[in-house]
Amino acid sequence: MLIAACGESATLAVDTGYGADPPLPEPVEALIPTVKIAPAKPWEDSELPTAHHGTAVKAFASDLDHPRWVYVLPNGDVLVAESNAPERPLRDELLGIKGKVMGMVMKRAGAATPSADRITLLRDTDGDGVADVRTVFLADLRSPFGMALVDNELFIANTDALVKVPYQTGDTEASGPVSKVADLPGGPLNHHWTKGLLASPDGGRLYVSVGSNSNVAEHGMKHEEGRAAIWVFDRTSGEGRVFASGLRNPVGMAWQGDTLWTSV
């Protein structure tokens, strides 16, 4: 109990943490590090984010199961990846007590829920800013995240594979079976499991972001092969290569001319 009660408090004001050369406090040595995780709780029905003057915010859809990424189709329909981390059967085996503690912390933060593994379609037919049509566009995926529409094919980045389904404007569910385009780095130890997806401006290539499997390769480099990188795949053949590396956890990607930006 005494060990668990030990902690520390902030010694610097928040605004001192900004700038080119912010002062850093000396590290604190302790048997157990201070970890304070705010418990995850949903918005109350009457609560809304504070909007900038002259703008307003409303809930477009609610009661979604861990929505992680949205993709707007050309006709205005919105696809939502309802997804969470896949099961990690070897985490406790590889990480021991550390893995168990990590699981407890993630559970408190609301990250230890099963993955819905589906993509939901939302449609606002009357333009009031609230979706009045909601369908399961595609189910039985594997921790899906990124999405990209090219011509009549919708590409989806599962945690371990890039897949595609046929799509026609107005579809409310996938009109054909899932087919695999390429494997992606996954594995039983699969930290930073989300896989972002962006098509090239001409649609011929698909860029997939892959996060690292650790902080400092503490599990060995064999678990880092092909990770901490952005991959580029030929849309037709599925052949791929590393486009950029040394990126701990790239998630969002966007084009500015011929420059690819990502948030890490």
- pLDDT-above-90 percentage for the chain: 64
Rounded Cα distance between 145 and 54, Å, is 33
- Count Cα atoms within 13 angstroms, Cβ side, for 55: 7
pTM, rounded to two decimals: 0.85
Least confident of 39-48, 57-66, 197-206, 251-260: 39-48
Can you give the pLDDT at residue 9? 66
Least confident of 42-56, 144-158, 186-200: 42-56
Q: Report DSSP letters for the chain, one per residue.
A: -HHHH------S-GGGG-SSS---PPPPP-SS----PPPP-PPPTT--PPPPTT-----S----SSEEEEEE-TTS-EEEEE--PPP-TTHHHHHTHHHHHHHHHHHHTT--SPP--EEEEEE-SSSSSS--EEEEEE-S-SS---EEEETTEEEEE-SSEEEEEE--TT-SS-SS--EEEEE-S--SS-SS--EEEEE-TTSSEEEEEE--SSSS-TT-GGGGTT-SEEEEEETTT--EEEEEE--SS---EEEETTEEEE--
Q: Which range has highest mean pLDDT (27-31, 56-60, 107-111, 157-161)? A: 157-161
Q: How many CB atoms lie within 10 A of CB 83?
A: 25
CATH number, domain 2-37+65-262:
2.120.10
pLDDT of residue 2: 42
